């Protein structure tokens, strides 16, 4: 059922090259997170999401300090090794200091065009809206220059429908997993979500539709296994889900920036783009990288635990990610005070030895089973 998803994730370059040739559209690498893919689609580009990879870091250390997160270092390694030659341009968001600086480094080191969707740090909806008015215009101008196509209201509306449909289908997959824990292996589930980073949206949507149909009549797994909610920025390395599968634990929900925080976003309002993008960036799930005092992560996460039936929260910390590290201690305390067991693992996307991670997850699952 998941074979075609695994094929994509195991052959990313080949997959992108194949579709680039078929579509004859410029590939635009989206540096995480929350850049509305709809804009790239509407400009006639082919968006692929680059949330880091597992390449050993050989060249990127000449440009980035070793205590920079492995998302940034491995993304840069890809370009330095000329392994991203199909990517014609990069679209960044100003999610964290690392990404802001990474874009500056890309501008100096590489010749490919880059653009940035700068996310405001302001208290009010009106201030966000005002700030984004000029940002959205400059992003659109930049995209039109890269692709050579004008974004029209029709192309925008079609793109909004297409990518809105993707997230709707992904939400259905999340719901099935919540309602029938164990119905899908954890490794298969995240492979299916990750596949969407690399495929054209219409191709991916068809794969998800087939998958959902195949899952419709299946039952969940045994009811007495530990149920986990995962929380972090990036749901990689996928290898860890094999360990969770071996331990027969069920991930019932997540709060990943490239998981539910993105999947939960509604269709982009293409009729009023600035309003639509403001809403897209700030809602509905709170994020450690988005300043929004009206959307507090503490009650949000606790509510998510209750609604998903999770018995414990595993914090999935990508080393040196500052925004995540600043939020985690308070979030863990808040959950603990409410009686929710918590644990954390620290990771690098480039890691190859998972023994310590296995020991930690296994101990956490044993604790939940007592
Ligand atoms: S993992 Fe954290 S530090 Fe790294 S790019 Fe993402 S938000 Fe920034």
DSSP string, 267-310: PP-SSSHHHHHHHHHH-SS--TTS--TTS-HHHHHHHHHHHHT-
Number of other CB atoms surrounding residue 309 within 10 Å: 14
98 lines ligand 1 (CB under 6 A): yes
Separation of CA 51 and ligand 1 centre (Å): 9
Separation of CA 164 and ligand 1 centre (Å): 25
List, as one string, the DSSP characters of 201-215. Answer: HHHHHHHHHHHHHHH
- 113-163: per-residue pLDDT in tens? 999 999 999 989 899 999 999 999 999 999 999 999 999 999 999 999 999
Q: Rounded mean pLDDT of 251-264? A: 98
- 219-239: per-residue pLDDT in tens? 988 878 999 999 999 999 999
Q: Helices 186-195 & 153-179, crossing angle to 10 degrees?
A: 180
User: What order do you get walking across the sheet with 87-93 strand by strand?
Assistant: 46-49, 27-30, 87-93, 114-117
258 lines ligand 1 (CB under 6 A): no
- Partners of 49 in beta bridges: 30
Residue 23 has what pLDDT? 97
List, as one string, the DSSP characters of 42-57. Answer: HTT-EEEE--------
Q: What's the mean pLDDT when you consider all of the chain?
A: 96
Which ligand 1 atom sits nearest the alpha carbon of residue 234?
1
The radius of gyration of the chain's CA atoms, rounded to the nearest angstrom, is 20
**Which of 52, 67, 321, 322 has the most ligand 1 atoms within 8 A of CB, as the residue to mutate?**
321
User: Is 77 within 8 Å of 60 (Cβ atoms)?
Assistant: yes
Separation of CA 52 and ligand 1 centre (Å): 10
Sign, Cα dihedral of 288, 291, 295, 296: positive
Whether the per-residue pLDDT at 188 is higher than 90: the answer is yes
Residue 370 has what pLDDT? 79
Separation of CA 319 and ligand 1 centre (Å): 9
User: What order do you get walking across the sheet with 312-318 strand by strand?
Assistant: 250-256, 227-232, 312-318, 342-347
Task: Give nearest CA residue, ligand 1 atom 3.
Answer: 321
- 27-48: per-residue pLDDT in tens? 999 998 899 999 999 999 999 9
Q: Rounded mean pLDDT of 323-327? A: 96
Q: Which residue has the tokens 């790239």?
A: 40
For residue 125 the two structure tokens come to: 């909806």
Residues 106 and 98: their CA atoms lie apart, in Å, by 12
321 lines ligand 1 (CB under 6 A): yes
173 lines ligand 1 (CB under 6 A): no
């Amino acid at each position: 059922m998941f074979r075609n998803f695994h094929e994509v994730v195991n052959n990313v370059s080949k997959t992108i090259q194949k579709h680039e040739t078929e579509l004859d559209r410029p590939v635009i690498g989206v540096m995480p997170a929350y850049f509305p893919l709809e804009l790239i689609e509407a400009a006639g580009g082919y968006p692929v999401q680059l949330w880091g990879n597992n390449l050993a870091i050989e060249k990127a250390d000449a440009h980035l300090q070793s205590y920079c997160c492995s998302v940034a270092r491995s993304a840069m390694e890809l370009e330095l090794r000329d392994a991203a030659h199909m990517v014609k341009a990069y679209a960044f968001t100003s999610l964290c200091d690392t990404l802001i600086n990474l874009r500056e480094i890309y501008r100096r080191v590489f010749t490919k065009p880059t653009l940035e969707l700068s996310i405001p740090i302001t208290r009010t909806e009106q201030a966000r809206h005002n700030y984004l008015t000029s940002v959205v215009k400059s992003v659109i101008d930049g995209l039109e220059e890269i692709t050579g196509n004008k974004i029209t209201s029709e192309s925008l509306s079609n793109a909004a429908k297409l990518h809105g449909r993707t997230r709707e289908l992904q939400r259905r997959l999340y719901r099935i997993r919540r309602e029938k824990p164990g119905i899908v292996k954890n490794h298969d589930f995240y492979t299916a979500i990750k596949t969407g980073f690399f495929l054209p949206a219409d191709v991916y949507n068809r794969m998800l539709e087939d998958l959902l149909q195949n899952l419709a009549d299946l039952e969940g797994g045994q009811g007495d296994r530990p149920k986990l909610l995962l929380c972090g920025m990036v749901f990689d390395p996928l290898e860890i889900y094999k360990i969770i599968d071996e331990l027969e634990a069920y991930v019932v929900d997540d709060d990943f920036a490239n998981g539910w925080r993105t999947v939960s976003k509604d269709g982009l309002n293409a009729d009023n783009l600035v309003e639509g993008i403001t809403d897209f960036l700030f809602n509905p799930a709170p994020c450690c990288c988005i300043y929004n005092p009206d959307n507090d992560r503490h009650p949000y996460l606790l509510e998510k635990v209750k609604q998903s039936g999770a018995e414990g929260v595993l914090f999935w910390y990508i080393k040196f990610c500052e925004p995540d590290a600043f939020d985690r201690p308070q979030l863990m305390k808040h959950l603990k005070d409410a009686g929710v067991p918590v644990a954390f693992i620290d990771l690098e996307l480039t890691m190859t030895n998972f023994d310590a991670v296995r020991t930690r997850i296994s101990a956490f699952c044993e604790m939940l089973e007592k």
